[in-house]
Each structure stands twice: as C-alpha cells, then as structure tokens.
Structure 1
Amino acid sequence: MYPLPDLRTARTHIRLPREDDAERLLAYRLGNRAHLAPWEPERDEGYFSLEGCERAIAEQIAAAHADRAYPLLALDPDERAVVASFTFSNVARGIFQACHLGYGVAAEQQGKGVMFEVLQAGLSWAFEDLRMHRVMANYMPENQRSERLLQRLGFEREGYARSYLKIAGAWRDHVLTALLHPDARG
C-alpha cells in the first residue's frame, strides 16, 4: 500500500475524496458543467446528482486502495469548496511504473496558477510516494491552456494520436506528452 496524499499548497488542501465530500463534489460538478464539458466525455444526468457523487467517491476510494487510480480533490484551505481535481489513472506497475494524468480546474480559478500549483505538488507526490517513473498527460491540440500548463510543468511531447478519446461526443485527436521521474531526466 502506498501512502495516500495529504498535501498542502499555498492555496489548497489536496487529498483523496471522503464520503462527506459528496455535496462539495456535486457543487463543483454543477458549477463547472459548461466550463468542463468541451474537455470531458459526455456525462449522463446521474453524474450531476448527489447519488452519483456518492457512488463516484466510493469507487474512487476503492481504486486508490487497489493502486489502480488516485483521484484527488484540491479544496480551498478551509475545505469549503473543490477548486480543482486531478487523477493519476491507469496505474501500471512492474517494469513500467507509469500512469496517466487528467485534470480540471474550476472556472473561477482558471488563469490564476492554481492548477500549476496543485499539479506541482501532486506530481512530486506521484514520483516520490507512488514511485512513478513516468506520468503521461494528453491534450487536444486546440487546448492551448493545457499545452502551456504541461510545458511549464516539464512535460515533453512524445507523439500525436488521431481519434484518441471520445470527448464531448466526438472522437478527438490528442497530443501525447510525458514527464519522467526527476532522476531519469537528462
């Protein structure tokens, strides 16, 4: 079992969701529904319900305890609201020691450096505590904010995948990037 995160940044508290986060998660999902829709899979109405959030949190906790994925919430310091979320998913161990990174930030936090701050802390945790060798992150070519964020974090372009993921109801191309453990960077 790898240590679960309890990270603090200047503006956030980052941790695995808990059962009592369901209402906060629902408020984040509802408040950012239109903002995040162009970058996410199509969601059914259950995703935007309290029951859907409760079910998601239970699944997320189980995934972390099984070392399959680490879905994390970034909350304001008083834990009143979710300001961002990110997930280390598709965890592969053995000779690969890698995962994928996905993330989203609340509309009112966009452009303030919060996602950079949160991901810096999260990536340090993934490399140090989860012992990842490689973290992969992919973005749609038109998502210039994600491109700049990943570049600033040190991710390097590794490829281009046509019709890679079904986002907002359509198969979309993605730029493939990765960040290696600091000891492996040359």
Structure 2
Amino acid sequence: MSEPVRMRTPRLLVRLLDIDEAELLLRYRVENREHLRPWEPLRNSMHYTVEGCRQTIEAGLEAARSDRGYPFAMLPPDGGEVVGTFTFANVVRGVFQACHLGYGIGRKHEGQGLMFEALDAAVRYAFGPLDFHRVMANYMPRNDRSGRLLERLGFEKEGLAKRYLKIDGLWEDHVLTAKVRTQA
C-alpha cells in the first residue's frame, strides 16, 4: 500500500486511523463497550487503554502496508469521532484473492444507514483497487440486522458453520456469506 486509503460517502470519511488518533478510537471503544460485547470476542483491559488503541492502529497500518488486512474507521466529515469500524481481514492472494469482512457501529449511530453507506463504498473499493475476487462476511443467526445488511449489500448465504467463533466467551454458530466480483 503506497498511498493512504480514503473513501468518501455522502455522510462519511472512511479511512485507516493514524497512530495519533488513538484517543478517538479509545472513546469509541469505551462508549460502545457494552453495545458491542455480544458481537465481539472477549476483550482484555488493554483494549480499553490509549496504549492498546495505539498498538491496534500501528498493527493495522502494518497489516495494510503488507496487504494482510485493512482496518477502516468510519468518521463524520470533521473527523471528530469514530462512528463505526470495519476490517478486510485474513487477506489471501494468489488463486483465491479473498478476505473476510468484519464490522461494528456505535450504538448512537445504529439505524441511520451509515454502515450500509460505508460498506457499499468499501466493497466497491475491495473489488476495484484492492483487486479481491471474493469478500466473505459471517454473522450469528440471532443477529438479524447484520443478516439484512449483508443481503442488501448483495452477499449470498453459503452455509452455516457450527460453533465457528468464540464470541463474548461462547462458541457461536455463524451464517457464512460471500459476495463475489462479477467481472474477471
């Protein structure tokens, strides 16, 4: 990755965070700790510190530089807060050209179409400049909102993985979905 990745949507700036924005990420994490808990792995106390956020951002920038992952933040145009986050993770190149998509949005921003807006632009970016052939996204069957979002974005159900990921301390089933680029 030679240049910073930035996307604009009608209401958002979507980009990688800089290390000096650790406090922004920390505020998002602390404000949404309980809101995101049912959908995420158990988090240690370091996750909720400035140093933990710096390390996360630094690791994310290195992942993007080495084409292993792209952890994006969704920000309003003034950049004053993190609205939500998503990551193209587990990048595999070669004959696969694929990644996994994971995402979360702050409680106060739910239901406004912001995640759809960001992911719609991001998936186009994934199939364009990032040159992925397949983007995979998985969700817990009880997360209806996530299922509807992915369907609206054009992801298709491909199966069910039993006890797939350890979320909030429990092994959870996940619906497997993917969106495949239609052009070679």
TM-score w.r.t. length of structure 2 = 0.98
Superposed counterparts of 1:1-186, under 5 Å: 1=1, 4-183=4-183
Shift of 1:21: 1.2
What value does the CA root-mean-square deviation take over the aligned residues?
Answer: 1.0
Gaps of 5+ in 1: none
Shift of 1:182: 3.2
- Number of matched pairs: 184
One-letter code aligned to 1:153: L
Shift of 1:44: 0.5
- String of CA shifts for 1:86-111, please: whole Å, max 9, x gaps: 00000000000000000000101101
- String of CA shifts for 1:106-142, please: whole Å, max 9, x gaps: 1011011000000011111111000000000000000
Counterpart CA distance in 1 for 2:107 and 2:131 is 32
Identity among equivalent pairs (%): 54
- The answer on whether the counterparts of 1:3 and 1:130 sit within 8 Å (CA) in structure 2 is no
Shift of 1:3: 5.2
One-letter code aligned to 2:7: L
Counterpart CA distance in 2 for 1:8 and 1:95 is 30
User: After the TM superposition, which segments of 4 or more aligned residues of structure 1 sit over 4 Å from their partners?
Assistant: none
- String of CA shifts for 1:65-92, please: whole Å, max 9, x gaps: 0100000001111000000100000000
Shift of 1:10: 1.1
Gaps of 5+ in 2: none
- The answer on whether the counterparts of 1:3 and 1:129 sit within 8 Å (CA) in structure 2 is no
- The answer on whether the counterparts of 1:85 and 1:104 sit within 8 Å (CA) in structure 2 is yes
Shift of 1:19: 1.1
Greater Cα shift, 163-172 or 15-24: 15-24
One-letter code aligned to 1:128: G
